[in-house]
Amino acid sequence: MSKKLNGFTLVELMLAMFIFALIGLASSVVLNQMLSSDARATERREELEQLQFSLLLLERDVRQMVMRPVRQVPAEQRNIYLFSDGRYTDSDADGLAFVRAGWSNPDAMLPRSMLQPVVYRLWDGVLQRLSHSYVDDVSAEPAIQNLLHNVTDFRVEFIANGERREEWNVASRLPDVVIISLQTDSYGRIERWLLTSGEGPLGAADEQGNPQGGGLQ
């Protein structure tokens, strides 16, 4: 007597293949969602790191702001030590240009001073920091650092003696506070109040190594 062979029918095989296909499709969708979520999380983390670094850099530079005139500025404005007009800084919104001290130069090993002219500006949706090696000689192209992307507006205000100002035109002193406002796609409007160093005198050691010549652009 012959044995009866048990097996899957064609319908059962097709049903099993369909179930496996659904499982594979669902797994693929879940995997793609996980990868997409991970990519978005990475992008958000990078944006947050960029924002934090930009604000820290701004805070450091503003805190080290000094009362140092630059020769390229017209003579009648040389006792004004910072500018926020976007026309001066080639910015799409406000800008911020000044000279800061504290640029590290251990034992004067480098042929420059400890002063550095810096400019913050909004350029094509990117917050940029421009810097030169010398205060009074900017014949070389500035170093441009892209700090934060997807910025739609950049505004600068000032506080001195408790009075808030939209522009700085006060001679022979620095503001007490610089107010920075950024409008970003990811985080909306961000405002920071940054303290300056006040009106302390500029030390001769900071000037050492600074050549004579042009000025801040």
pLDDT in tens, 155-166: 999 999 999 999
pLDDT digits (tens, 9 = 90+) for 4-24: 556 667 777 788 788 888 888
Burial of 46 (0-12, 13-18, 19+ CB in 10 A): exposed
What SS3 state is found at 80?
Answer: coil
- Report if residue 45 sits inside a domain: no
List CB contacts of 39: < 8 A, sequence separation 6 or more: none
- pTM, rounded to two decimals: 0.72
- Report if residue 160 sits inside a domain: yes
- Report if residue 216 sits inside a domain: no
CATH classification of the domain holding 93:
3.10.610.10
Find the range with the poorest average confidence among 65-69, 163-167, 200-204: 200-204
- Report if residue 124 sits inside a domain: yes
- Report if residue 25 sits inside a domain: no
Q: Position 147: which residue type?
A: L
Find the range with the poorest average confidence among 101-105, 126-130, 141-145: 101-105
Q: Torsion over CA of 86, 92, 95 and 97, rounded to 10 degrees?
A: -70
- β-partners of residue 180 are 156, 192
Domain that holds residue 120: 53-207
- Report if residue 48 sits inside a domain: no
- Report if residue 86 sits inside a domain: yes
pLDDT value at position 172?
A: 84
- Split into its structural domains, the chain has a count of 1
- Report if residue 178 sits inside a domain: yes
Higher pLDDT, 176 or 199: 176
